Homo-oligomer: A and B are copies of this chain.
C-alpha cells in the first residue's frame, strides 16, 4: 500500500496523483446494438432467448405475479421491513421538499413568463441482481418517481437461477407502489424498455445502476430517444480528516466504499499526521474482519492516501477530483461547505457516515461518479420531471417588445418571424 501514500505532494503533482484508474471498458456498442435490433424485431421472444443465453435462466412470464409478491413479503424479516419503511419515510420527506412552486415573472408590463413541472410519463427502473440485492436503490428511484406523478413506472431486474427474484427487492418495489416488475436483466431489459415488447412497455427515461452491458445499453438507448439518469462509473469516496477526526471511523468509511467492487476508489486526505498514520493502520485491522475483504483490499490498492497542510488545500484537491461522496471529518465542517464546488453528496462531521446516506438520511444515493460531479447532479425529484415554460402577452406586452423582435428577426434573416409580429402590431 506504500505506493499510494503521498506526504505533502506539490500542487503541480495533484492532477497526476488524482488520476482515476483507467477503466478497462470493452467496446460493447456493436454487441449491444445487435441485441437492440433483435429485441426491436422480435420482442418478448428475443428477450427470452437472450435471458437464456446470458443469464442461464428460462422465463415464460416476465411479469412478477401477485402471489410471488405476497410470498416475498412473508419471507422478509419484520425488522428489515421496518428499517425499509423508516428509510422510505426519510427519502419521501426530503424528495417531497424538492417540489417547486410556480413563480410567475412579469419581465415587462404585459408579459408574464413562468415554468411548470410535469412528470415524465413513462419511466423504467433497472435494479441489478447478483450477490447484493440492491433494494435500497428501488427506494431512491421509485419514491421520487411517485412524488413526481409518473404515470407508468416499471421495474426490470434479472431473475436468480431458479427464476425467482430476491424477496427484499419484491417487497420494496411493492411497498413503493410499483405494479409492474419484470424478471428481465442485462442489455435485453434496457432494449425492451427502449422499444417496448408485447409484455414490457416502452419508457421515456431509464434509471438505475448496472454492469458494463447495462451501461452500454443505456448509452445506446439515447440514440432511440430515451433519456437516462446519468453516465455510470465505479463508486468512490473522498474523506477529509483533521485532528478532530476519529481514525477508526475514517477507516470504516473508506472501507465501506472499497467493498463495493475492485474498481471502487477511495481517497483519504488528512491534515494531521497522527490521524493519518492511525487511519492507515486501522484500515489493515478492519480489512481482516471483512467478509468481502478481497474486493476491498484490491480497491484500497487503487486508492490514494494523502497528507496535506490545511483543510483549504484538501478541499481544493477534492474539487479537482470531484468525488461522488465527500466526507468532512473536520471541526466546524459547515464553515467549509461554501468552498465545495464539485461533489455528489457531502457528509458533515464525525457522525455522518456515507452508509447513513446510502440508506436512510433521506438524500439520494444515485450520484455522479468518475468525475461527473463536475457537470451532473445526483438523482432527485428533478430527474423525474421536465419543466415547461409558458408565456402570456397582452397587446400592450407585445407592443413593448414588438419592435425589438422585428429588428432581431430581420437581422437573423428570419422574415416570417418578423411578419408574425408585424401583422399583430398593425392590427392594434
What is A's interface to B at a CB cutoff of 8 Å?
A: 79-80, 82-84, 86-87, 89-90, 93-94, 97-98, 100, 103, 105, 107-108, 111, 113, 115-116, 118-121, 131-136, 168, 204-205, 219, 222-223, 225-227, 231, 246, 248-249, 252-253, 255-256, 258-260, 286, 289-292, 296, 333-334, 337, 340-364, 367-368, 370-378, 380, 382, 385-395, 397-398, 401-405, 407-409, 411-421, 423-424, 427
Of B341, B357, B401, which contacts A391 at CB under 8 A? B357
- Contact (Cβ within 8 A) A352 B423: no
- Contact (Cβ within 8 A) A363 B168: no
- Contact (Cβ within 8 A) B405 A113: no
A364 to B: closest C-beta gap in Å? 7
The docked-state distance in angstroms from the alpha carbon of A412 to that of B357 is: 15
- Contact (Cβ within 8 A) B380 A83: no
- Contact (Cβ within 8 A) B408 A361: no
A107 to B: closest C-beta gap in Å? 4
Q: Can you list 26 A-B contacts (CB < 8 A)?
A: A79-B407, A90-B107, A94-B105, A115-B380, A120-B374, A131-B413, A204-B375, A219-B222, A225-B372, A249-B423, A252-B423, A255-B419, A256-B416, A259-B416, A286-B416, A345-B391, A346-B389, A346-B390, A352-B398, A353-B424, A354-B420, A355-B414, A355-B417, A357-B389, A359-B404, A361-B393
Of B255, B374, B386, B402, which contacts A376 at CB under 8 A? B386
Residues in B whose Cβ lies below 8 Å from that of A367: 389
- Contact (Cβ within 8 A) A386 B377: yes
- Contact (Cβ within 8 A) A392 B334: yes
Residues in B whose Cβ lies below 8 Å from that of A80: 407-408, 411
The docked-state distance in angstroms from the alpha carbon of A222 to that of B216 is: 13
A64 to B: closest C-beta gap in Å? 19
Of B253, B372, B375, B380, which contacts A387 at CB under 8 A? B380
User: Which of A296, A385, A394, A408 has most B Cβ within 10 Å?
Assistant: A408
Residues in B whose Cβ lies below 8 Å from that of A349: 392-393
- Contact (Cβ within 8 A) B419 A286: yes
User: Which of A107, A291, A341, A382 has most B Cβ within 10 Å?
Assistant: A107
Of B121, B248, B416, which contacts A258 at CB under 8 A? B416
Residue of B nearest to A413 (CB): B132
The docked-state distance in angstroms from the alpha carbon of A378 to that of B420 is: 23
The docked-state distance in angstroms from the alpha carbon of A402 to that of B353 is: 10
Of B134, B354, B376, B392, which contacts A348 at CB under 8 A? B392
- Contact (Cβ within 8 A) A389 B363: yes
A33 to B: closest C-beta gap in Å? 11
A2 to B: closest C-beta gap in Å? 22
The 8 closest A-B pairs by CB, nearest first: A83-B404, A107-B362, A252-B420, A90-B107, A227-B375, A355-B417, A348-B392, A83-B407
User: Which of A343, A349, A360 has most B Cβ within 10 Å?
Assistant: A360
- Contact (Cβ within 8 A) B364 A389: yes
- Contact (Cβ within 8 A) B405 A226: no
Residue of B nearest to A352 (CB): B393
Residues in B whose Cβ lies below 8 Å from that of A398: 351-353, 356
Known: A256-B414, A361-B113. A421 touches B133 (CB 8 A): no
The docked-state distance in angstroms from the alpha carbon of A340 to that of B79 is: 44
Known: A225-B371, A359-B409, A377-B386. A100 touches B100 (CB 8 A): yes
Residues in B whose Cβ lies below 8 Å from that of A359: 401, 404-405, 408-409, 417
